[in-house]
Structures are given as structure tokens and as C-alpha cells.
């Protein structure tokens, strides 16, 4: 790890400040450049080894390394483009291009796994004689060591940057270790026993690589689809907002990521209705400014005035909360208010439930409405269902 850190410090100006977008871009570009150089080196030595040994397996492995150089070029260009500032057509910046690079590399991994599978089936049906010299075996061992180093390098940089693209490339390097190792193992078995198991071993590795490619596509494609925010980040945002004097609750927190360093969020903050609106608005402005300056989160807050201190409303709210908990333990209520009338009163609230709850929104609305109306014939419930992947602090 210290050696890898030393290389990064040498290649990346400002290393140690990965939160800086410029440093992050330089680190990603440096990783891409290292990948291009090492993969071209492996392509050259394996090409020589394949020609000397007349081994199609070694030649195919050489072509694989040439393809890896293409993946590194994609990654290098991707980090450069992802670092471009926002413009009129892309007001949230270009950082999601890094996600696209990760998906592209993942599809390349899947494609190579399928290609290796097809080649392996061909070798099983028509085994090919190969002449392996000690020089060829030495080159294959050298290739495995370089690919192991590549894997550690990409993983180290990927974890420091939080980059799915680099982590996917690290997985690709690990798969290359396996595929080259199979070629080496097949050569050793053939040399010692005379049995050619190259095709069978290659097929096993091909299945592993193809499965790995599918998994990487799902992982790297997730941010493009819009994955749920990290629960730790959600808790941190909630706790910090609630620490401000004048905020009594919050709900409907939504977090969007447009790439590294491009986090946008919106939330409803509940404030006492009797507080001067200018005072509450000042609190909200301060929260938004603090999050941008200190957390680099573009936060937009909707202010919800909540009536508190009304004994009749508070008593009914406690009853409704208990009744809802009995009918649906997973639900929590917020935005509770009552429009008191002569012949009937409208009880209005939102119920936050997890996506994992199988009941439909209409079923939940009907269920909770019945619970509320069972508290008294004069009550008419108006229920809105909020789906949330992470539970928030319950407010008014």
C-alpha cells in the first residue's frame, strides 16, 4: 500500500486532497495512463510468447491485454470529460460520465467472458497442440504478477476516489489474473501429463468472468438509474438539520447524485406556525448555505409551518399515531393537521412507509383512513402515502 501511495504522490499533483475535483480528475487520469502503459507492455510480451509457442491461448490473452488498453483509454477520457464544468446543456455538470465509463468497462468484461467461453468450447471440441518453452511460462508468470499489481492499484485508487469505474477496472484485472493463470495451469498439466485440459479450464473461467461482468453492470449502472442514498448520509443530514433552533421536524428528504462532488438534496422542514415567517426563512437560508459551504451539498428546503400547542389537535394526533402504528407498524406520520368543522372534521396527514411494504398505496390509504375514522364518526381522513427507502425523523 505504501508503494502504491508513493506512486500516486509522484503522479498526482495535490495527492491527499481527493475531495478537490481537480485532484480527483488528475488521479483518475493517472490511473488510466498507468493502465494503458502496463497493458501495452503485456500485449507486446505475450504476443512474442504466443508466436514462439504457437499457442492460440497465449495469443488470445495478448489480444485481451490490448483490449484492456482500450478500457484504460475510455477511463482516462472519461475522467477528463467528467471534470468539465457545468454548461447550458448540462447544468448539473458532467460527472456522471464517470458512471458511463464504469458501465462500458463492465460490458467489455462481459463480452470478454463470452468470447473466452466460445473459444474454450472450440478447444474442447478440437484440442490444439501447443509448444510451451520455459521462456513462455516465465512470461505468463510475469503477466500474472503485473495484473495482480494492476488490480491492487486500481482498487486502491478506486476506493480513495469512490469510483465505480476504477473498481470495475480492478475487477477486470483480477479476471485477467485468472484467465492467464488458466493458460499457465493448462500448459503445466499438458507438459506433465500429456492431457490437454486447456479448454475445460478456460470454460470455467469464462463462466466466472461472465457472471462478474453481469454483476459489475448492475453495480455500475445503479447510480445512473438513481440508487437510494447511503443511510449514513441520510441520518447525518437529518441530525444536522434538526440541530438548528426553530426546526421541529423534517420529512420528504430526497438526495440526488450527479457524480462525485455533485450532490443535490431537497427536504421539507417543519417550523412552528406562530414563529415570524421572516425568522423561520432566515433559519432555512442559513441551513442551505451551511450545507453548501461545509458539506458541498446543494440543499433546497421547503418550509412547512406546523401548529403546535393546541391541546385538542395534539390529543387527536397522539390517538391517530397510535392507531396507525397498530394497523401498520412500518408507517410513521407527518404533516398532521386538522380542519375542525361543525358536522365533521378533516384529519389530514402523510404516512411514510418503506418500498418493501407489499401493500399498494390505495390499499394503505383505505386501511389508515378506516383506522382514523374508527376513532369517531365525525372524523374524515385524508391520507397521502410517501414511499421512503430510509426512515426519517418523525416530525409534525
Q: Give mean pLDDT, residues 274-294.
A: 92
The reply to whether 394 falls in a domain is no
The reply to whether 147 falls in a domain is yes
Q: Give mean pLDDT, residues 232-253.
A: 88
Model confidence at 1: pLDDT above 70: no
52: its cell numbers = 514462439
Same domain as 364, residue 316: yes
Distance between CA atoms of residues 276 and 283, nearest Å? 11
Total residues found in the chain within this entry: 396
The reply to whether 216 falls in a domain is yes
Q: Give mean pLDDT, residues 74-84.
A: 75
The closest alpha carbon to 54, from 123, 131, 115, 114, belongs to: 131
The reply to whether 395 falls in a domain is no
Out of 127-131, 163-167, 270-274, least confident range: 127-131
Distance between CA atoms of residues 212 and 169, nearest Å? 12
pLDDT at 16: 66
Same domain as 113, residue 91: yes
The reply to whether 393 falls in a domain is no
Same domain as 156, residue 96: yes
Q: For position 316, which CATH number holds?
A: 3.30.70.1350
For the four alpha carbons of 47, 53, 54 and 58, in that order, the dihedral sign comes to: negative
Same domain as 379, residue 294: no
SS3 state at 247: coil
Q: What are phi and psi of 261, to 5 degrees?
A: 75, 10
Same domain as 369, residue 243: no
Same domain as 186, residue 288: no
Distance between CA atoms of residues 75 and 49, nearest Å? 28
Same domain as 249, residue 175: no
Q: Give mean pLDDT, residues 290-317.
A: 87
Number of domains present in the structure of the chain:
3
pLDDT at 299: 93
Tell me the residue ranges of DSSP E strands in 258-367.
Answer: 263-272, 297-306, 332-339, 345-354
Distance between CA atoms of residues 69 and 371, nearest Å? 63
Same domain as 246, residue 194: no
Distance between CA atoms of residues 19 and 262, nearest Å? 11
Distance between CA atoms of residues 169 and 175, nearest Å? 10
The closest alpha carbon to 28, from 64, 68, 63, 78, belongs to: 78
Same domain as 117, residue 37: yes
DSSP state of 54: T
- Whether the CB-CB separation of 381 and 333 falls below 8 Å is answered with no
Domain boundary among 306, 334, 366: 306
Q: Please, which pLDDT band fits residue 5 given cuts at 50, 70 and 90?
A: low
Q: What is the pLDDT of residues 91-114, one digit of tens each?
A: 777 777 777 877 887 888 788 788
Domain boundary among 225, 254, 289: 225
Domain of residue 156: give its range.
2-225
Domain boundary among 279, 306, 333: 306
Work out the mean pLDDT of the chain and round it to a whole number: 81
Amino acid at each position: 500500500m505504501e508503494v502504491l501511495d508513493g506512486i500516486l504522490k509522484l503522479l498526482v499533483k495535490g495527492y491527499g486532497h481527493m475531495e478537490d475535483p481537480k485532484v480527483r480528475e488528475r488521479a483518475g487520469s493517472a490511473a488510466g495512463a498507468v493502465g494503458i502503459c502496463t497493458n501495452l507492455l503485456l500485449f507486446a510480451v505475450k504476443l512474442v510468447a504466443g508466436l514462439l509457442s504457437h499457442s492460440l491461448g497465449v495469443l488470445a490473452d495478448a489480444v485481451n491485454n490490448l483490449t484492456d488498453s482500450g478500457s484504460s483509454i475510455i477511463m482516462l477520457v472519461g475522467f477528463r470529460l467528467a471534470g468539465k464544468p457545468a454548461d447550458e446543456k448540462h447544468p448539473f455538470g458532467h460527472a456522471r460520465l464517470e458512471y458511463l465509463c464504469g458501465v462500458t468497462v463492465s460490458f467489455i468484461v462481459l463480452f470478454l467472458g463470452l468470447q473466452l467461453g466460445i473459444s474454450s468450447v472450440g478447444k474442447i471440441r478440437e484440442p490444439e497442440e501447443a509448444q510451451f518453452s520455459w521462456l513462455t511460462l516465465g512470461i505468463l508468470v510475469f503477466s500474472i504478477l503485473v495484473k495482480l499489481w494492476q488490480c491492487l492499484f486500481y482498487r486502491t485508487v478506486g476506493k480513495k476516489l469512490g469510483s465505480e469505474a476504477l473498481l470495475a477496472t480492478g475487477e477486470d484485472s483480477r479476471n485477467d489474473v485468472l484467465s492467464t493463470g488458466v493458460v499457465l495451469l493448462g500448459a503445466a498439466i499438458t507438459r506433465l501429463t500429456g492431457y490437454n485440459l486447456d479448454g475445460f479450464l478456460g470454460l470455467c473461467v469464462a463462466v466466472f468472468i461472465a457472471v462478474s461482468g453481469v454483476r459489475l453492470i448492475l453495480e455500475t449502472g445503479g447510480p445512473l438509474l438513481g440508487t437510494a442514498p447511503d443511510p449514513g448520509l441520510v441520518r447525518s443530514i437529518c441530525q444536522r438539520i434538526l440541530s438548528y433552533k426553530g426546526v421541529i421536524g423534517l420529512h420528504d428528504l430526497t438526495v440526488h447524485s450527479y457524480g462525485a462532488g455533485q450532490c443535490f438534496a431537497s427536504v421539507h422542514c417543519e417550523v412552528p406556525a406562530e414563529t415570524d415567517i421572516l425568522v423561520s426563512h432566515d433559519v432555512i437560508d442559513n441551513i442551505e448555505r451551511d450545507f453548501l459551504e461545509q458539506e458541498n451539498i446543494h440543499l433546497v428546503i421547503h418550509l412547512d409551518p406546523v401548529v403546535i400547542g393546541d391541546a385538542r389537535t395534539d390529543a387527536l394526533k397522539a390517538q391517530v399515531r397510535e392507531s396507525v402504528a397498530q394497523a401498520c407498524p412500518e408507517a410513521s406520520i407527518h404533516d398532521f393537521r386538522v380542519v375542525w368543522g361543525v358536522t365533521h372534521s378533516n384529519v389530514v396527514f402523510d404516512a411514510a412507509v418503506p418500498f418493501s411494504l407489499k401493500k399498494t398505496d390505495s390499499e394503505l390509504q383505505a386501511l389508515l383512513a378506516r383506522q382514523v375514522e374508527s376513532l369517531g364518526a365525525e372524523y374524515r381522513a385524508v391520507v397521502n402515502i410517501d414511499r421512503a427507502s430510509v426512515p426519517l425523523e418523525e416530525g409534525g
